[in-house]
Each structure stands twice: as C-alpha cells, then as structure tokens.
C-alpha cells in the first residue's frame, strides 16, 4: 500500500487534461457501443420484429443523421460558448431515456419518433462531437495522440460492448438489451461528465504547450481562427469535402455491415462478431495514427485509409464467402484507424476556440450524407437482393475522398491573430 501513495500523488498532480481525456474516452466507449455501432446488430431483429423491409428499417437510423445535420452547428456553438459538461449530461440522460422507452414500443411510427427525437437528439447533443471538442480544448502539443485516444473510445465500445449486445440480442432479445443499456448509461453518464472541465484557462492553468526542443513537424501554431476566417480559407473546404465523402460511406457501412456479411454467407451471430472485430482491430490502428500524427504529415495517412477502404470494397465484390468478409474487416479497420486524423487536422489548422462550431458545420453535411447512404443501400438490396451495386458505387467515392485528403494544406494564419509559439 505504501508504494501506491507516490503513484496516487502523481496522478493527482498530473495535467488535468488527462482526466478530461479519460472521462471522454469512457463516454466514447459507452456511446459507441450502445448508441452508434449497435445499429448494425439491432437492424435485423428490429426489421423482423416490426415486420419491415430493409428500406423502412434503414430510414429509422438514417433520420437520426438528418437530425444531426441540423443539430451539429447549434451544438458546436453551445459547446464553444458554455463548455462540454452540461451538454454531455443533457444528451446522455436523454439518449438513455430514449433507449429505455424503445423497449416497450411496437409501432413503427412511434419507434421512429422516439429514436430520432430522444436517442438521436441526445447522442448528437452530448455524446458525439462534444467529446472530441472537449479534448481539443485541452491539448495542443499532444493533440493528435489525445484526440486519437478519445476517438478510440468509440471504436473500443464497438470492440468491447458489441459482442455482449450481440449475445444479449440472441438470448434475451433486443428490447431487454435496449432497456438495460439505457439504465446503465443513465447511471454512469453524470459522474463521468463532472470530470470534464471547459478549458485549462478557466482552471487557471495553461494547456499542454509546445516545447523549444520539439521538432519542426510537432510545432503547431497557437493561432485560433474565428469561424468566419476559417470559412474563407480553401483549406477548410478541401478538408470538409474529403471528410464528408468518407463519413457518408461509413453511414451505410455502419448500418448494413452485418447484413452484408450475412449476404456473403455468414450466420447472423458470426456476422455480428465480425463487425465487432472490425472495431477491435481499429484500436491499435487509431493509436498508431495518433502517435504518428504528432510527428509526420497527416495527409498521406488520411489518403492511405481511403485506399484501404477501396480495397475492402473490391474484396467484397470479387471474392466469395468468409474470405471476402475477413479482408473487408481488416481493411476497414485500417480505414477507421486513419479516420481520427480528420479532426486532428481540423484542430491543427484552425485552433481551439471555434473548433466545435467548425466541426458542427462539417457534421451538417456528413449527417445528410449518412441519411441518404443507408436508405440507398437498403433500397438497392430490396430491389436486387444484393449489395453489389451499392459496393460498386462506393468505390469511386472512397478514392475521391483520398484525393481531397492529399490536397489538404495548413492555411496561412490571419495577420491580425498570429501569436508567437510558447517556449520560443
């Protein structure tokens, strides 16, 4: 016990940003596992229970994206002004209550209303971009690593919780799984949210600033763009386009992946476990990308992720059976690993004070894309009984996204806001 005392003192004296990162990581685990990545597990059981087709079921999850497209800039503005903590508490409790309510719903229309109006609004208000924005406020020098750890939380939720959710759905049913998941989330969200402070400046401390000995690749300007200044740069719109294209495709994959694996010959249970494995494999990919992102240019890694996604699509098109699924899972894990760097680039390019709003503007567009892509995939499957046309159409979009990421460049800081780097 005596040997643990110095360790406890060291933890208490550590930079408070690490506590914020730990809390947002755990919230990401719960949000990713319970509210986001579980869609693909719930898709088939809800479809059969409510007597729906693939298009109708896709609409449930897609309308949440439409809500997110309207909420993104508003949520971002609130976070930049008031901080992440109140948004996390409000959003987490609302989404949890929505999950509990869904366990008793048998009407398709009422299911859509509750899923969009409670689960969707709650998640977008406090358990998505809000967590990433909170971390961006606390880190500069180690931004890439910190944000990668935070976003890895969402993938960890897929890796750790999806197997449990998949087993639960197959044993006690999707309704009880939603009920117990909502109760657990409601209990845990407030204590974790209380650890999240708005900024180091409000606590009277400095963020993790740059050191004189840091290499050139690590030196990140402390300039903060206003929203208007950022929107006037070419860099923002190139990054915007690449991000929207990538995340639009992920919208369809995240909803239809399990059904795609079943289409390739897997059982529902095996397909759910393979979907979970994708997130498990993405964890080391995300952490490696985060570490490298603090030391080398981001553009090649972001573009490389899109090439991996394109190869995953090709594998599903030209191969049969489990081999196609295995390759798809591994290659999409690579894509998910590099996806973290979208938001690292946004923070590196435009700073901290307007990050949530700028991210919210991007989310408006990609949520509209994520509204359309699952419905499109479901409609084409209903028409053809196959995902072939869907996958063929996704391939050029992934490659185009990679080209835009290669084109991204750090913008010149507005002259009136340039600030010398700390430690120099």
- Reported as a single tens digit per residue, the pLDDT across 171-190 is 999 999 999 999 999 999 99
Within 8 A by CB and 6+ apart from 230, the residues are 236, 349, 350, 354, 358, 411
The 10s digit of each residue's pLDDT in 10-44 is 455 678 888 999 999 999 999 888 887 788 788 88
The 10s digit of each residue's pLDDT in 120-142 is 888 888 888 788 888 888 887 78
Tell me, rounded to whole angstroms, the distance of Cα 230 from its chain centroid.
22
Question: What is the structure's pLDDT at 67?
Answer: 64
Question: What is the structure's pLDDT at 347?
Answer: 84
The dihedral region occupied by 51, where left means phi > 0, alpha psi between -120 and 50, and beta the remainder, is: left
Beta bridge partners, 208, equal 139
Question: What is the structure's pLDDT at 11?
Answer: 52
Tokens of 68: 């997110």
Of 420, 279, 250, 247, whose CA–CA distance to 346 is shortest? 247
Q: How far apart are CA 135 and CA 296, in angstroms?
A: 21
Rg of the Cα atoms in the chain: 21
Question: What is the structure's pLDDT at 10?
Answer: 46
Beta bridge partners, 57, equal none
Stretch among 98-107, 108-117, 280-289 having the lowest mean pLDDT: 280-289
Question: What is the structure's pLDDT at 9?
Answer: 44
Of 24, 190, 43, 44, whose CA–CA distance to 115 is shortest? 43
Task: Specify the pTM.
Answer: 0.70
Q: How far apart are CA 264 and CA 334, in angstroms?
A: 21
Residues in the chain, overall count: 424
Q: What is the mean pLDDT of residues 345-370?
A: 84
The H or E element containing residue 381 is helix 355-384
Asked whether the predicted pLDDT for residue 90 surpasses 60, the reply is yes
Domains of the chain with CATH codes: 16-198+222-412 (1.20.1250.20)
Q: How far apart are CA 271 and CA 330, in angstroms?
A: 14
Tokens of 159: 């890796």
Asked whether the predicted pLDDT for residue 53 surpasses 70, the reply is yes
Mean model confidence pLDDT for the chain:
83
Taking each helix axis as running N to C, give the angle between helix 129-138 and helix 341-350, from 0 to 180 degrees, rounded to the nearest 10. 50
Question: What is the structure's pLDDT at 289?
Answer: 82
Q: What percent of the chain has pLDDT over 90?
A: 33
Asked whether the predicted pLDDT for residue 419 surpasses 70, the reply is no
Beta bridge partners, 139, equal 208
Task: Determine contact, residues 122/185, Cβ cutoff 8 Å.
Answer: no
Q: How would residue 2 be classed by pLDDT, with cut points 50, 70 and 90?
A: very low
């Amino acid at each position: 016990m005596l040997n643990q005392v110095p360790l406890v003192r060291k933890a208490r004296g550590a930079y408070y940003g690490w506590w914020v990162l730990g809390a947002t990581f755990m919230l990401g685990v719960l949000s990713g596992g319970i509210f986001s990545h579980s869609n693909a597990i719930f898709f088939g059981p809800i479809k059969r229970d409510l007597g729906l087709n693939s298009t109708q079921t896709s609409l449930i999850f897609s309308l949440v994206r439409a809500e997110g497209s309207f909420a993104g800039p508003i949520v971002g503005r609130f976070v930049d002004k008031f901080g992440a903590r109140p948004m996390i508490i409000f959003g987490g409790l609302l989404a949890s209550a929505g999950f509990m309510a869904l366990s008793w719903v048998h009407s398709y229309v009422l299911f859509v209303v509750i899923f969009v109006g409670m689960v969707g609004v709650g998640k977008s208000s406090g358990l998505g971009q809000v967590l990433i924005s909170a971390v961006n406020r606390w880190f500069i020098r180690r931004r890439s690593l910190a944000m990668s750890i935070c976003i890895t939380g969402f993938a960890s939720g897929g890796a750790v919780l999806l197997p449990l959710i998949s087993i639960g759905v197959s044993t006690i049913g999707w309704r009880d799984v939603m009920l117990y998941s909502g109760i657990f989330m409601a209990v845990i969200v407030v204590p974790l949210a209380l650890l999240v402070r708005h900024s180091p400046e409000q606590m009277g401390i400095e963020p993790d600033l740059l050191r004189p000995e840091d290499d050139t690749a690590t030196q990140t300007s402390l300039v903060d763009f206003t929203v208007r200044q950022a929107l006037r740069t070419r860099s923002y719109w190139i990054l915007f386009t690449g991000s929207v294209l990538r995340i639009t495709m992920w919208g369809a994959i995240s909803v239809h992946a399990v059904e795609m694996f079943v289409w390739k010959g897997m059982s529902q249970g095996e397909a759910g476990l393979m979907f979970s494995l994708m997130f498990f494999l993405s964890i080391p990919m995300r952490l490696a990308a985060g570490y490298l992102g603090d030391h080398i240019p981001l553009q090649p890694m972001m573009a490389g992720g899109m090439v991996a996604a394109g190869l995953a699509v090709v594998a599903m098109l030209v191969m049969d059976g489990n081999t196609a699924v295995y390759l798809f899972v591994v290659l999409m894990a690579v894509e998910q690993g590099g996806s973290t760097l979208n938001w690292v680039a946004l923070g590196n390019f435009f700073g901290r004070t307007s990050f949530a709003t700028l991210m919210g503007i991007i989310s408006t567009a990609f949520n509209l894309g994520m509204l359309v892509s699952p419905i499109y995939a479901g409609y084409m499957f209903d028409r053809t009984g196959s995902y072939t046309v869907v996958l063929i159409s996704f391939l050029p979009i992934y490659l185009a996204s990679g080209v835009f990421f290669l084109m991204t460049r750090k913008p010149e800081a507005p002259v009136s806001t340039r600030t010398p780097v700390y430690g120099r």
